[in-house]
A and B are shown apart, each in its own frame.
Chain A
């Protein structure tokens, strides 16, 4: 006879195993954000179709895989731009792009100013430019206004 608690335990074990699989996808984004990565590549490695991977990742981490990837890229880009010795194009390439136009658009959406303006302000007053992680910077931060 099958006890209900066994079924629950099986479902829970499966859920934890699914989450661990998503963790490996997220770790791969963290590790390879500088390379060309897309949902198809990630899905193949995770042995899941792209759409369910996207849905499960969004539920688990609050961001779709591509949004998480771009957030990581922009986060690393702000750190590189603050150094001041790299051009915006060089930074875009170092964090995996994808194209300079797309990079500029994504950066501006998340940080509130363009990468060019961010770089100039960072060179002018390093301490006043916020670092950005997971889109936490306000769109129009008081220090950037």
Chain B
């Protein structure tokens, strides 16, 4: 079978703020932007890697989600315990410098982890953890 991971989904609570982070700070390109107001589905991805995308989507838009569940998801996003993603780069220090200059919330400066990797971490504007790992 020929299967790849194509798109992963992260929630936003302010589409313009999330778009600004992924496009202007991380340098991703915008591949589509549909919907309006808070109900926007925005596909972004790294330039030159059309096979990999992140879909920034409104959380709890599914009509099968109850009001209590919707509130819980919103609270978990605010608490920073809901969405997260692992990215990778060959130039961790360069990426860290660029992202921290973009006024993002820093969770962890570049660190050699005892389990053998080197990584750093940020919050995106919706509270999602964006962890970036260095690859050789």
Contacts and interface: CB of A to CB of B under 8 A. Distances in A.
B88 interface: no
B107 interface: yes
Contacts of A35: none
B123 interface: yes
Interface stretch (A12-20, A39-47, A104-112): A12-20
A24 B123 CA distance: 10
A contact patch SS: helix
B79 A60 contact: yes
A145 to B, nearest CB: 25
Interface in A3-26: 12, 15-17, 19-20, 22-24, 26
A119 interface: no
B80 A82 contact: no
B contact patch SS: mixed
A79 interface: yes
A107 B63 CA distance: 46
A101 interface: no
Contacts of B33: none
B71 interface: yes
Interface residues of B, number: 17
B75 A80 contact: no
B106 A23 contact: no
A55 interface: no
A20 B78 contact: yes
Closest 9 CB pairs of A and B: A19-B78, A23-B80, A79-B114, A16-B78, A27-B107, A20-B78, A19-B79, A23-B79, A31-B108
Interface of B: 13, 71, 74-75, 78-80, 105-109, 113-115, 123, 127
8 contacts: A12-B71, A15-B78, A16-B74, A19-B79, A20-B80, A27-B106, A30-B107, A31-B108
Given A23-B127, A26-B80, A31-B106, 5 more contacts: A20-B127, A27-B80, A79-B114, A79-B115, A82-B114
